[in-house]
């Protein structure tokens, strides 16, 4: 498929003989929102691990961008700098540091040690952080240690850090877990908004949440794509129904 931002094809990975990802292929365009669903252990997180360089696949290709560079030869940091941001299933923020410092660290800037050593606070960064904090509803928490935030706020902080990185592809693993219904709604609009200008892949269990995203859905099962299409289309699929009801 041409014009894809990320092209994953024929990827397989085994852990101690167990095939977590089995000949998986997946494409996403430059400004597209995609939901990935599937039962526990379907390989959704492992898929993100492969794209972000955390796990090396046994076979297959992962190509990125217009020039179709292979991500398999790059390390996690280089992949992140290439424009792929990730939010983890369990919120992982730097709990010992303030919300502001977390966001500042994520801001898209030169990442080399020498450059960072001389990157001092400036008004432009400060303004950008304020703006992001406004988007994720954490303006009044900027000076608090992020370890003191509630679970939902940490989720948002991590989404904020993701936006701060200004990536071309966002991989978002279960963003709504531990959120109240209102918080979920807010999260939906953040993701939909982000997907206007970039590619966003959202893994989520909650069907209501997926429905509100109103986008193409990919169903994973046993490490492979089971069905793809609109939510109504995939939920009408007999195999999908069996997988979800059969467990």
Partner 1 sequence: MSFLRRNPSVPVFLGLLLVFTLTVTLMSEAYGGGLSTSFVKTLGKTLCLALVAVAMDLVWGYTGILSLGHFAFFGLGGYMIGMWLMYARTEAIVVSSMANAEIPATPQEITDAVGAQIFGVVGSSDFPAIWLFADSLAMQLVLVVAVPGLLALVFGWLAFRSRVTGVYLSILTQAMTLALSLYLFQNNSGLRGNNGLSGLQNLPGADAIPQSVMSVWFLWTSALALGLGYLLAAFVVSGKFGSVLRGIRDNEARVRFLGYPVERYKLFIFTLTAVMAGIAGALYYPQAGIINPAEIAPIASIYLAVWVAIGGRGRLYGAVIGAGFVSLVSTWFTGGRAPDIDLGFYTIKWVDWWTVLLGLSFVCVTIFAPKGIGGLVDLALSRRAPDRHGADLGPDLGSLREKEAEE
Q: Which residues of this protein are in contact with ligand ATP, per CB under 6 A?
A: 15, 20, 38, 40-46, 89
Do strands 18-28 and 69-70 pair parallel, antiparallel, or not at all (unpaired)? unpaired
Does position 94 bind partner 1 by CB under 8 A?
Answer: yes
From the CB of 127, what's the least distance to partner 1, in Å?
16
Cα separation of 172 and 97, whole Å?
A: 22
Q: Which residue has the tokens 């360089």?
A: 53
Does position 112 bind partner 1 by CB under 8 A?
Answer: yes
Does position 113 bind partner 1 by CB under 8 A?
Answer: yes
- Closest to partner 1 by CB, 91 vs 175, is 91
* Count of alpha carbons within 13 angstroms of residue 46, beta-carbon side: 24
Q: Which of 59, 131, 148, 239 binds partner 1 (CB under 8 A)?
A: 148
Cα separation of 55 and 58, whole Å?
A: 9
Does position 104 bind partner 1 by CB under 8 A?
Answer: yes
Cα separation of 181 and 186, whole Å?
A: 9
From the CB of 44, what's the least distance to ligand ATP, in Å?
3
How many residues bind to Mg ion according to rule CB under 5 A?
2
Long-range contacts of 228-235 (CB under 8 A, 24+ apart): 231/35, 231/207, 234/37, 235/207
Question: Can you tell me whether residue 38 is helix, strand or coil?
Answer: coil
From the CB of 157, what's the least distance to partner 1, in Å?
12
Q: What are phi and psi of 236, to 5 degrees?
A: -85, -10
42 binds, among partner 1, ligand ATP, Mg ion, none (CB under 5 to 8 A by kind): ligand ATP
Residues near partner 1 (CB under 8 A) are 45, 48-49, 52, 54, 75-78, 80-81, 85-86, 88-92, 94-97, 101, 104-106, 111-114, 116-117, 119-121, 145, 147-148, 161, 165, 173
- Residue numbers of the site for Mg ion (CB under 5 A)? 45, 89
């Amino acid at each position: 498929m041409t014009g894809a931002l990320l092209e994953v094809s024929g990827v397989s990975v085994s852990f101690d003989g167990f095939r977590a990802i089995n000949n998986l292929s997946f494409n996403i365009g430059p400004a597209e929102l995609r939901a990935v669903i599937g039962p526990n252990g379907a390989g959704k997180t492992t898929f993100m691990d492969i794209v972000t360089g955390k796990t090396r696949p046994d076979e297959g290709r992962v190509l990125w961008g217009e020039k179709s560079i292979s991500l398999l030869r790059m390390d996690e940091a280089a992949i992140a700098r290439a424009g792929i941001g990730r939010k983890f299933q369990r919120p992982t923020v730097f709990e010992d540091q303030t919300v502001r410092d977390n966001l500042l660290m994520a801001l898209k800037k030169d990442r080399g040690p020498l450059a960072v050593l001389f990157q001092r606070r400036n008004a432009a960064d400060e303004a950008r952080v304020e703006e992001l904090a406004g988007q994720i509803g954490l303006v009044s928490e900027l000076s608090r240690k992020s370890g003191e935030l509630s679970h939902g706020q940490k989720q948002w902080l991590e989404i904020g850090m993701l936006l701060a990185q200004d990536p071309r592809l966002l991989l978002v693993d279960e963003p709504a877990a531990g959120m109240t219904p209102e918080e979920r709604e807010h999260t939906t609009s953040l993701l939909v908004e982000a997907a206007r200008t970039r590619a966003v892949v959202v893994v989520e269990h909650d069907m209501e949440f997926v429905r509100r995203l109103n986008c193409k859905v990919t169903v994973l099962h046993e490490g492979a794509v089971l069905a793809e299409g609109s939510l109504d289309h995939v939920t009408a699929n007999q195999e999908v129904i069996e997988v979800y009801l059969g467990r």
